[in-house]
Each structure stands twice: as C-alpha cells, then as structure tokens.
Amino acid sequence: ATRLHQSIRVHRKALIAFLLYHASANVGQLQRDLKLACAKAFLHYKTKTANYILIEQDDLPIHVQKGLLH
C-alpha cells in the first residue's frame, strides 16, 4: 500500500478465510499468501476505475480459500 500510494481493503470473506486457514509454514506462509493476494488484487485494480485495491475471496490462493470450509 505504501509503495503504491493506494489504500488496500479486504473483503469480509477474504479476511475470514485468512483467519481460519492453517498456514503450514506459520508466519512466513501467511506473509507469502498475503503478498500473492495483494498482487492479484492489484491486477484487478489496474483494470478498474476504483480508488483503492480490494482483496476479494477470488484473489486468495486455493488453500486459503479452503479456510472458509472449516
């Protein structure tokens, strides 16, 4: 967010998925998954006319999305 000078918002379902999934490599895995979600959300942001980056459930890696199933 700081590098891009844009705010990042997280959709409720995406936040819940991150809270419920099991990060196999602990904090390092969580950090990698967050970076990947931010990168995917950034691509969507570049194709839209929004003033912020929105991380949605579809931006999450599959193993994080499975956190919603628990």
User: Per-domain residue ranges for the chain?
Assistant: 7-69
Please report the sign of the dihedral spanned by the C-alpha atoms of residue 8, residue 21, residue 36, residue 24.
Answer: positive
3-class DSSP assignment, residue 70: coil
Cβ 60 vs Cβ 41: under 8 Å = no
pLDDT for the residue 23: 80
Give the E-state strand segments of 1-70 in sequence order: 7-10, 52-55
Q: What residue ranges of the chain have pLDDT lower than 70?
A: 1, 70
**Both tokens assigned to 69:** 């199933």
Direct distance between the N- and C-terminal alpha carbons of the chain, in angstroms, rounded to an integer: 30
